[in-house]
Amino acid sequence: MNAFRFNIRALRECLKPGVRLMAVVKADAYGHGVQPCAEAALAAGAEVLGVGIIAEGIELRHCGIDAPIHLLIGILPDEIDDLLRYNLSTTLCSQPLAEAIAKKAAAQNKQADVHIKVDTGMGRLGIGWEELPAFIEFLSGLKTLNVLSVFTHLSSADEDVDYTRLQLDRMQEALDLVEQNNLPCPPVHCANSAGLLNFAESQCDMVRLGIALYGVVPPVPQGHVPTQSPELKPVMHWKTRVLRINALPAHSYLSYGRRFITRRDSRIAVLPVGYADGLSRALSGNMEVLIGGKRAPQVGTICMDMCMVDITDLPAVKEGDEVVLFGKQGDDAITVEELSSRYHTIPYETLCGVGKRVPRVYLP
C-alpha cells in the first residue's frame, strides 16, 4: 500500500490550507479492495470517505470504520432506516425524499446528515443551480436534517476547459444567490481528481478524489496547462502465471470461433485468466502481456476463465512463470492506461472490472 499512501500525500500537498480531502472508495475502491484502501486513506489524512451506494457504506461500518461516509448517489426511500442506523450521510436533491428522511429521523429522535447536490451541467443528479436558495430555505424548516455541504460534479474537467469553467461559474452564481437571500451556506465542494489537477479554482472547502488516489493521472484538456502535476504511482499490478505451454504446428486454430491460426510452429502459453476475471473479451488479439520482462501478444478469443499468448519468441518461458497483464516487470511496463486504450475504454472501467475471484495481495 506504499504507492497508495504516497499518492495521498502527494495530492494533499496540492491542496490549499484548510481544504479537506474526501477519499472516494466506491466500487470496492475502484477494484483495489475497499477496507484496506479506506483504512490507509484515513491513516494518511483523509477526513471523509465517499462511496456510491448504501451497501458500500454499511460494509465499511461492518469493517469497524467510524469516519464520516458520504453516499454520493443518494438513497431510495426504503433505505432511510439503514442511513440512520449506520450513521451515514446522503446526497439530497429531492424535497419529498428530504421530508421522508426528516420524518423518520424525528421518529427516532436522530439527526440525519445530508449533502445538497447541485446540477451545474452534468444532467444526472441535482437541483438546478438557480434553485439552491429555495432548497436551502426549505431544508431549514426540517429540523432533523443537518446539511453538511453543497456540491456539484464536474463532467468534463479532463476534456473541456470552457465547459468546466461554465460549471464553476454556475456554482458560484448559485452561492451568490444564497448570500443575496441572507441564507446560511454550508461548506462547498466541486473538485474531482481532474478538477483538482487541472483547475485550482475548483478546490473550495473540500475535494473528492477518486482515480488519482489509485495512481491514474486524469487527462489534461487540449491546449490547457494543468495547475498541479504531482508524481503519482500506480497502485494495482495485475499478475497471473503460465498454466500450461502447448507446442502447436503451423496452421493450428486457437480458441472459440477459430479466429487465430498459427503461421509457424508455435509455443502457446495458456493463462488462467479470462473475461470472468475482468479481462475483456474485446481485448482478444489486441493486447500484450509481460513474461520475463518481454512482451508477448495475446492470441485467439479470450475465454471465460483462460486466454492464450504466443511465446514462440520467448524460449525461456516455462510453466509457472509470472505474467503481468498490467504493471511493471523487468525494464518494461504495461500501464492500465495502455491496456484500456486497446479496447477503447478508460482506466476507471478496467480497474473496477477486475473481478472478485482475482486475489488481492497487499504489500506493506
Query: Does the active-site annotation cover 143?
Result: no
Segment (H or E) for 20:
strand 20-24
CA distance 239 to 184: 52
What phi, psi does 234 have (nearest 5°)? -60, 135
Contact 354, 236 (CB under 8 A): yes
* HSE-up of residue 269 (Cα within 13 Å, Cβ side): 30
CA distance 123 to 133: 19
What phi, psi does 50 have (nearest 5°)? -115, 130
Number of Cβ atoms within 10 Å of the Cβ of 259: 13
Query: Does the active-site annotation cover 356?
Result: no
Cβ-proximal residues to 85 (8 Å cutoff; 6+ apart), any chain: none
Give the annotated binding-site residues for substrate. Answer: 124, 304
Burial of 108 (0-12, 13-18, 19+ CB in 10 A): middle
Burial of 180 (0-12, 13-18, 19+ CB in 10 A): exposed
Number of Cβ atoms within 10 Å of the Cβ of 242: 19
Contact 187, 149 (CB under 8 A): yes
Burial track 285-294 (b if 16+ CB lie within 10 A, e otherwise): eebbbbbeeb
CA distance 60 to 34: 8
Angle at 340 between CA 338 and CA 346, to 5 degrees: 120
Cell (9 digits) for 136: 436551502
3-class secondary structure, 56: helix
Contact 131, 164 (CB under 8 A): no
3-class secondary structure, 332: strand
Give the annotated binding-site residues. Answer: 124, 304
Catalytic residue selected from 16, 143, 253, 256 = 256
Residue positions annotated with a catalytic role? 26, 256
